[in-house]
Amino acid sequence: MRRVVYNWKGGVGKSTIACNLAAIATQEGKRVLLVDLDPQGNSTHYLLGRPGKEISPNGFDCFNDWLRFTSRVGGPRACIHPSPFPGLDVLPSHPELEELQAKLEMRYKMFKLRELLLSLSEYDEIFLDTPPAWNFYTRSALIASERCLIPFDCDAFSRQALYTLLQQVREISSDHNPQLEVDGIVANQFQPRARLPRQLLEEMLAEELPVLETKLSSSIKIRESHQHCKPLVFMDPQHKMTLEFRNLYHELQSN
């Protein structure tokens, strides 16, 4: 399964959720790849323990080769690196992906990522982390995926952004990728005792927006987990949020 975690709003938990679901998947015996398409490279750092600019070859080399019709780095597979966590590999990001974007867009390279991911049949699950933008990388990721998971930070402005976002997914699905389906919207940093987030979710459900059953709480452990470059399931397997990530993983499997 190829699954993109997407929301063009920043800081809603895309990288955290993509990496932790990828880690949970390995615990379920799956061979997993995390593709980091965000030039910020937060997922790369989280899973490989160092920034993308220190890792070579990386996603930049991979996309750049597609522009040059050459393979300077031994093909895209050479750009994939094993993480310290068994069964979990990473196609790392690099800050220069930002500048490469315009060229990739101009030369219609939007389908190359899909082509690559389809050829990587050794992976049971591929998670794609995306930048907080509607750009070449997010469009490529939506074209390359079968499912789209949307993190939502229970904020009123973010709720308005959801309508545009769902429209974007629909557009990609109808123009380029009929296989693409929305997994659902997952509430992150959800505070069950606060009135506003509860009310927002109730209204969204009343509108028949695809809000998932599983909610992710807020915990300082997430920051610790980032700091130690260790997904929660490896840092604290019994933590409440580890269980929530596991529930989310299973809810997505049963969808």
Ligand X SMILES: Nc1ncnc2c1ncn2[C@@H]1O[C@H](COP(=O)(O)OP(=O)(O)OP(=O)(O)O)[C@@H](O)[C@H]1O
Inter-residue contact 9 to 132 (CB < 8 Å): yes
What does the block give as tokens for 236? 């604290």
3-state SS, residue 110:
coil
* Positions 13 through 42 that interact with Mg ion (CB under 5 A): 14-15, 42
- Provide the minimum distance between the beta carbon of 127 and Mg ion in the complex, in angstroms, as a whole number: 12
CA dist 75 and 73 (Å) reads: 6
Contact between 38 and ligand X by CB under 6 A: the answer reads yes
CA dist 93 and 78 (Å) reads: 14
Contact between 42 and ligand X by CB under 6 A: the answer reads yes
Contact between 13 and ligand X by CB under 6 A: the answer reads yes
Contact between 150 and ligand X by CB under 6 A: the answer reads no
- Binding at 189: pick from ligand X, Mg ion, none (beta carbon under 5-8 Å per type): ligand X
What does the block give as tokens for 180? 């693409």
Contact between 84 and ligand X by CB under 6 A: the answer reads no
CA dist 204 and 181 (Å) reads: 19
* Positions 186 through 215 that interact with ligand X (CB under 6 A): 188-189
Shorter beta-carbon distance to ligand X: residue 29 or 192: 192
Contact between 16 and ligand X by CB under 6 A: the answer reads yes
Contact between 240 and ligand X by CB under 6 A: the answer reads no
What are the DSSP E strand ranges found in the chain? 2-5, 32-36, 81-82, 88-91, 125-129, 147-152, 181-187, 211-215
Binding site for ligand X (CB under 6 A): 10-16, 38, 40, 42, 132, 188-189, 216, 218-219, 222-223, 226
